[in-house]
Structure 1
Amino acid sequence: MVDGVGMTRVGDRWRVTRPWPAGLQPYLHSYAGYWEAVASPFRVRLVPTGRAVLVINLGQPFTQVRRLREASPSDGAIGSLVVGLDDGPRLCDHPGGQEAIRLELTPLGAYRLLGVPMRELTNRAVELRDVLGPEADELAERMAATDDWATRFDLLDFVLLTRLERGPEPAPEVSHAWRLLARADGAIPVARIAAEVGWSQSYLVRRFTEQIGLTPKVSARILRFHHAVHLLGHKGASPSEVTASCGFYDQAHLNREFRALAGTTPGRVAAARIAEGALAQ
């Protein structure tokens, strides 16, 4: 631990962390740097988490980042990027030599930070410069110019906090609707949410989708799936226990949801212990 920065080796990769500034904490699920001790190509499958992802690339770019069932392989290499909320699996290929900082953002944190309607990023992975403009490339260049991780975090913290201060304020009703869904792991009817926030269901769907990126119904589905993944991979629950706990009709329903949202089975997810939404291929 140096200057509050800690490094943990995970396989051939180092994970670099530092305590988050208080001003960022409400908007983040994770915030860490990564660099490879041994450069080797890799592929991971990302599954829906109900979170947006932002990557500041300091080394080799991804070869491709694409939806699992997309017909075309990809639009080419992609460096620093942002991924909106997904409702299906995504493949990421990297040639090796990764060095980057990766953030998982709450949907409303991403809405404030990026300053665009989140529906524009739904099921998409785009270059960060396409959202933030030249500022994104300038930030990555300044961070790549130093190998001091404390300085890198300082630079990124300043940009994030500045953008959050001037970003759009989410509607209180949307914030409350998201809290209700997240706290219930998706197990709450949309009609009840609309009644609690005082909006019609149609108006809730429109405003919620603008600021979250998915409809309340799809968000509930993703949150239930994410809770099931956590129970299987981190709590050691059996499929039958997950079925009962998460409100699936039966194990066939559980299996269908995992096929649709992750392109795999509950058993494989349990064995792989997905970390940060990533399943090694």
Structure 2
Amino acid sequence: MTYTAAHPPAVLRGVVTGLAGYTEHATRPLVRRESPTGGVTLILAWGGPLQVEGVGRPARHGAFLAGLDDAWATTTFTGDQAGVQVDLTPLGAARLLARDGVEVAHLVTDLDLLDVPALAALPERLAATPTWEARFALVTTTLTDLLARSAFRPAPEVAHAWRRLAAARGRVPVGELAAETGWSRRHLLARFHRQVGLAPTVAGRVLRFRHASALLVPGAGPDRLPADVRIADVAAACGYADHSHLVREFRDLTGWTPGEYLRAWFPDVQDGAAAGS
């Protein structure tokens, strides 16, 4: 596998959180378990299709958009894969698609079904572009144009609530968010769910899991814990009630215990690093 990362331009700040090109070849079926990310993933692929299971009905997808979710899925492919992956914030994706996040949450949708011709045309255009630098430029130009033309604007109160949740890695009570926006708790829950795609409590749960998983995997985050970290340390750092609470959350969101999740990244890791998992 080759992987080439790029820095999104400033004009896409708050919309694009990651941008990377990839190529990959597998001589036999390669199965990956995909955990919730706290964002929306745009796959601009021109290689073979991926079999996706666990999100909606099992299906084969080429280029697609994976909406915000709180469940894990699996992807499988054999042969060649190539494409550009764009990681989007939920409200950034809503602006690009000019629709509420709830319309694509919990779904994997082929690009030609999104009614956004500029996105649907990108994979073929990228395949005909010779360098990653030129491909990234094409992607960022297309996304910038879509943002400029989009009439969708998230409510400032919803945007504030999402920023607070993301910055605090999910650890902000809904009552506190409601007080900050001046809305009732009920109104915030309804508007946030519609525009972001998940309720604030569910989105916060996923964001806290992402923080815990980044701490658990050595080298995965700037504020990571030492390589010999124990699960209890991660639970305390992320605000879980206790070790068992974190284990339950990992089982629900990944299908694995924290120890199994760690060993999926590093197969030869010793059980001592994930004691009690």
- Aligned pair in 2 of structure 1 residues 60, 179: CA closer, same or farther (>3 Å)? same
* Aligned residue among 192, 199, 203 for 1:219: 203
* Aligned residue among 110, 115, 124 for 2:98: 115
**Any stretches of 5+ residues in structure 1 without a counterpart?**
1-12, 275-281
Taking the TM superposition and a 5 Å limit, the aligned residue runs for 1:242-253 are 242-253=234-245
Q: CA separation in 1, counterparts of 2:172 and 2:117?
A: 42
Aligned partners of 2:16 and 2:89 also within 8 Å: yes
Aligned partners of 2:103 and 2:197 also within 8 Å: yes
Taking the TM superposition and a 5 Å limit, the aligned residue runs for 1:134-153 are 134-153=117-136
Taking the TM superposition and a 5 Å limit, the aligned residue runs for 1:7-156 are 13-36=1-24, 41-62=29-50, 64-67=51-54, 74-75=58-59, 77-156=60-139
TM-score by length of 1: 0.86
Secondary structure in 2 aligned to 1:98?
strand
Aligned partners of 1:34 and 1:100 also within 8 Å: yes
Equivalent residue, structure 2, for 1:277: none
Question: Is the counterpart of residue 254 in structure 1 residue 237 in structure 2?
Answer: no
Equivalent residue, structure 2, for 1:9: none
Q: CA separation in 2, counterparts of 1:80 and 1:16?
A: 18
- Aligned pair in 2 of structure 1 residues 149, 25: CA closer, same or farther (>3 Å)? same
- Aligned pair in 2 of structure 1 residues 135, 39: CA closer, same or farther (>3 Å)? farther
Task: Report the count of equivalent residues.
Answer: 257
Q: CA separation in 2, counterparts of 1:93 and 1:37?
A: 12
Aligned partners of 1:233 and 1:272 also within 8 Å: no
Equivalent residue, structure 2, for 1:206: 190
Q: CA separation in 2, counterparts of 1:91 and 1:254?
A: 22
Secondary structure in 2 aligned to 1:160?
helix
1:223 positional shift: 1.0
**Any stretches of 5+ residues in structure 2 without a counterpart?**
219-223, 267-277
Secondary structure in 2 aligned to 1:92?
strand
1:247 positional shift: 2.0
Structure 1 residue runs of 4+, over 4 Å off? Answer: 37-40
Q: RMSD value over aligned CA atoms? A: 1.9
Q: CA separation in 1, counterparts of 2:99 and 2:19?
A: 21
Amino acid at match of 1:269: Y
Equivalent residue, structure 2, for 1:231: 215
- Aligned pair in 2 of structure 1 residues 229, 169: CA closer, same or farther (>3 Å)? same
Which structure has more relative contact order (CA 8 Å, sep 6+)? It is 1
Amino acid at match of 2:62: G
Amino acid at match of 1:47: S
1:186 positional shift: 1.2
Taking the TM superposition and a 5 Å limit, the aligned residue runs for 1:262-281 are 262-273=254-265
1:39 positional shift: 5.6
- Aligned pair in 2 of structure 1 residues 252, 100: CA closer, same or farther (>3 Å)? same
Q: CA separation in 2, counterparts of 1:218 and 1:239?
A: 22
TM-score by length of 2: 0.87
